[in-house]
Amino acid sequence: MSKKKKEKSAPMPAASAGLLRFFEEETEGVKVRPELLVGFAIALIVICVLANAFL
């Protein structure tokens, strides 16, 4: 076999399998869409800047 074929058939590291399993588990708690969270963060920044400028 050539080196290229051996390199392609190398197994994945063991750590990645555990990481994938971790993200597949369902966790309880509040679920918030990322877009909504970014919107809240931007709104908070704008409110803080306006409060600092006018108060």
Position 45 scores a pLDDT of: 98
How far, in Å, are 18, 37, 38, 52, 55 from residue 48 at the CA level?
Answer: 41, 17, 15, 6, 10
Position 49 scores a pLDDT of: 97
Which residue has tokens 């869409």? 33
The pLDDT profile of the chain, 55 residues, written as one tens digit per residue, is 555 555 556 655 555 555 555 555 677 888 889 999 999 999 999 999 999 999 8
Position 37 scores a pLDDT of: 95
Position 28 scores a pLDDT of: 82
Q: Rounded to an integer, what is the distance from CA 23 to the centroid of its chain?
A: 10
pTM for the whole structure: 0.49
